[in-house]
Amino acid sequence: MAAPTYHGAAKAFHWLTALAVFGLLGIGLWMTGLPISLLKLQVYAWHKWIGLVVLVLTVLRLLWRWWHPPPPLPATITRWERALAPAGHWVLLFLLVAMPTSGWLMSSAAGVAVAWFGVLPLPDLVPRNPDLFEALRSVHFVLSRCLIVVVALHVAAVLHHDVLRRDGIFRRMWPFGGV
């Protein structure tokens, strides 16, 4: 009998968020080295917009999960994995909320208005404050490195389960039917 899989909505939230996060990490690492130009301003805007998409997707995902708990883990999962997996997922979800929130706060503290996709103006979360901006820039940087580590651990766990153990954990979240 096949292991229970995640609902299609949970899979959609997961994979849309994953694509956005990988894009954001790549863009974020690239954009900081760009010289001041129109391109840099456009890239920063897209980074902010997609970051807000991640925030919205994560909030929706958390609401979905509130009413639709994940399927039970297979019996082959060890005791330590049963404890570590949910903790890892909650750390990842925390970072997916904290990263875009710290970016939004950072823009507010810099006095840079954010209009989501250039259309929906968002309120400043804090008043303009250069010292707060610098502190938030450091927070955003540290959170980005934490996110990179946690995503790498997540991918490593997926590979461990799918390639080495072949226990069906990955297939529960795969969006394209059986693999």
Sorted by where each starts, the structural domains of the chain and their CATH numbers stand as 8-167 (1.20.950)
What pLDDT does residue 1 have?
Answer: 43
**E strands in 55-160:** 115-116, 120-121
Looking at the DSSP bridge assignments, the partners of residue 115 are 121
Mean pLDDT, residues 40-67 taken together: 96
Instruction: Evaluate if pTM is beyond 0.85.
Output: yes
**Which amino acid is located at 70 in the chain?**
P
pLDDT in tens, 73-101: 888 888 998 899 899 999 999 999 999 99
What pLDDT does residue 139 have?
Answer: 98
The model's confidence at residue 177, banded by pLDDT at 50, 70 and 90, is: low
CA separation for the pair 150, 155 (Å, rounded): 9
Mean pLDDT, residues 14-20 taken together: 97
Q: Whose CA is closest to 175, among 16, 50, 26?
A: 16
Mean residue pLDDT of the chain comes to: 92
pLDDT in tens, 113-172: 999 999 999 999 999 999 999 999 999 999 999 999 999 999 999 898 888 888 878 888
CB-based burial, 22-51: b 16+ in 10 Å, e otherwise: eebeebbeebeeeeeeeeeeebbbbbbbbb
What pLDDT does residue 176 have?
Answer: 82
pLDDT at 106 over 70: yes
Question: pLDDT > 90: what percent of the chain?
Answer: 75
